[in-house]
């Protein structure tokens, strides 16, 4: 009897092995596809943190547009840093008046004004008065400083008054400005009488008086500033009476009604416009260097050794009396027309 070959089982086994191998080969691809599908399924709006060396700082501007201004005192002194523009109006588009390449000591005369997101202050003392930016927290461009005119001085001695006399206790240095570093004009020996023309003026912790006395070499009249000294070591004393004789005046300047002139000085001390033509007259206004005025009366009045002119300030119309100074040391100059 002829035997038939058994082939079917082998065929079945081969098919199963092929299926198993195919499944094993396809598995990594399915896994990769699943991973890829899972990755792309992340929403694109999900934030992704990326480490950086420097993170930006969020600066919040107040609702008003400006930070709270510094507590600066109008009339006080401030230092303005270098590289600052001074403008005619509190605006970044205001007309440029000055440029401070280096830091400057100036006086506040107005402000603050909020504009363009900055606080602005008006300053005077260098060039034309104008507006400067205060700056922002962490980078301020102005800084208040102690005012030597109003701080650090002991109460002035009693018995010293304008128009009266003081006596030198020690050898008193008469300087050309109210400053211990100013040029010494002469030294008044002990016992020298000096007529008080102005003061006291507090400067650098010392009270100063502008006086008139005689130069010890030529016996001519000179004027300058003397320091008062300190408690326990005063250099001058008052209560020695008024000037015994009226002080003479030099020949006045050749001015007439309508003459225009300007204040001019080099000692850093503003000149005074007074209600009467004398050094004890009520103060009307302090006149900065360059202030222009017009002569009202064509005749000067001699008082206290000075020729006084009745004038009108051109910019404000305020009137009063101003002293012309002395030959070689005039405080006014003619304006050319």
Same domain, 126 and 179: no
Burial class (CB in 10 A: 0-12, 13-18, 19+), 210: buried
User: Higher confidence at residue 59 or residue 333?
Assistant: 333
On whether residue 329 sits in a domain, the answer given is: yes
On whether residue 248 sits in a domain, the answer given is: no
**Residue with structure tokens 């401070």?**
100
Backbone angles phi, psi at 24, to 5 degrees: -65, -40
> What pLDDT does 226 receive?
95
Mean pLDDT of 168-191: 87
Same domain, 264 and 324: yes
**Whole-number mean pLDDT of the chain?**
78
CATH of the domain at 210: 2.30.30
On whether residue 94 sits in a domain, the answer given is: yes
On whether residue 26 sits in a domain, the answer given is: no
> What pLDDT does 19 receive?
58
Same domain, 267 and 329: yes
On whether residue 84 sits in a domain, the answer given is: yes
Give tens-digit pLDDT for 180-203: 888 998 888 888 889 998 888 888
On the question of pLDDT at 243 being above 80, the answer is no
Minimum mean pLDDT among 39-48, 228-237, 290-299: which range?
Answer: 39-48
Considering the chain, what percentage of its residues have pLDDT values greater than 90?
Answer: 33
Same domain, 138 and 198: no
Q: Which of 222, 237, 252 is the last residue of a domain?
A: 237
Q: Nearest-CA neighbor of 234 among 165, 158, 163?
A: 158
On the question of pLDDT at 238 being above 80, the answer is yes
User: Higher confidence at residue 304 or residue 285?
Assistant: 285
Q: Which of 110, 144, 178 is the last residue of a domain?
A: 144
Is the peptide bond preceding residue 200 cis, with omega within 30 degrees of 0?
yes
Minimum mean pLDDT among 23-37, 196-210, 280-294: which range?
Answer: 23-37
Give tens-digit pLDDT for 138-166: 899 998 877 665 666 788 888 898 888 89
Q: What is the CB-side half-sphere exposure of residue 187 using CA atoms within 13 A?
A: 4
pTM of the model: 0.40
- Whether residue 193 contacts residue 166, with contact meaning beta carbons closer than 8 Å, is answered with yes
On whether residue 281 sits in a domain, the answer given is: yes
Same domain, 223 and 281: no
CATH of the domain at 285: 2.30.30.40
- Residue 328 sits in which domain range? 260-334
How far is residue 78 from each of residues 74, 105, 134, 141, 145, measured CA to CA in Å?
10, 6, 11, 10, 5
Give tens-digit pLDDT for 300-314: 999 877 899 999 999
Q: Which of 237, 269, 286 is the last residue of a domain?
A: 237
Give tens-digit pLDDT for 68-79: 999 888 877 889
Report the Cα 119 to chain-centroid distance in Å: 14
Same domain, 131 and 184: no
On whether residue 49 sits in a domain, the answer given is: no
> What pLDDT does 208 receive?
92
Q: How many domains does the chain have?
A: 3
């Amino acid at each position: 009897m002829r035997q038939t070959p058994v082939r079917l089982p082998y065929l079945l086994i081969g098919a199963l092995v092929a299926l198993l191998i195919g499944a094993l080969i396809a598995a990594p691809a399915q896994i990769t596809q699943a991973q890829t599908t899972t990755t792309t399924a992340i929403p694109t709006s999900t934030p992704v943190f990326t480490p950086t060396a420097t993170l930006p700082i969020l600066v919040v501007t107040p609702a008003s547009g400006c930070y709270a201004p510094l507590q600066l005192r109008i009339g006080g002194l401030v230092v303005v840093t270098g590289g600052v523009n001074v403008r005619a109006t509190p605006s970044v588009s205001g007309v440029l008046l000055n440029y401070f390449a280096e830091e400057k000591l100036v006086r506040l005369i107005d402000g603050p004004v909020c504009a363009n997101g900055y606080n602005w202050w008006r300053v005077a003392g260098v060039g034309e008065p104008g507006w400067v930016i205060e700056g922002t927290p962490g980078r301020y461009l102005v800084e208040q400083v102690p005012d030597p005119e109003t701080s650090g001085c002991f109460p002035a001695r009693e018995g010293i008054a304008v128009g009266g006399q003081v006596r030198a206790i020690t050898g008193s240095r008469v300087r050309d400005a109210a400053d211990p570093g100013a040029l010494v004009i002469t030294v008044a020996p002990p016992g020298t009488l000096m007529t008080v023309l102005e003061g006291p003026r507090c400067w650098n912790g010392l009270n100063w008086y502008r006086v008139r006395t005689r130069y010890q070499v030529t016996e001519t009249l000179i004027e300058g500033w003397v320091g008062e000294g300190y408690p326990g070591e005063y250099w001058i004393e008052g209560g020695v009476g008024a000037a015994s004789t009226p002080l003479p005046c030099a020949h006045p300047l050749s001015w007439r009604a309508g003459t225009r002139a300007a204040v001019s000085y080099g000692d850093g001390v503003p000149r005074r416009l007074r209600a009467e033509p004398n050094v004890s007259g009520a103060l009307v206004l302090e006149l900065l260097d360059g202030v222009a005025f017009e002569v009202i009366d064509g005749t000067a009045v001699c008082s206290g050794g000075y020729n006084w002119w009745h004038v009108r300030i051109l910019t404000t119309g305020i009137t009063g009396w101003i002293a012309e100074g002395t030959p070689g040391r005039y405080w006014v100059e003619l304006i050319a027309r």
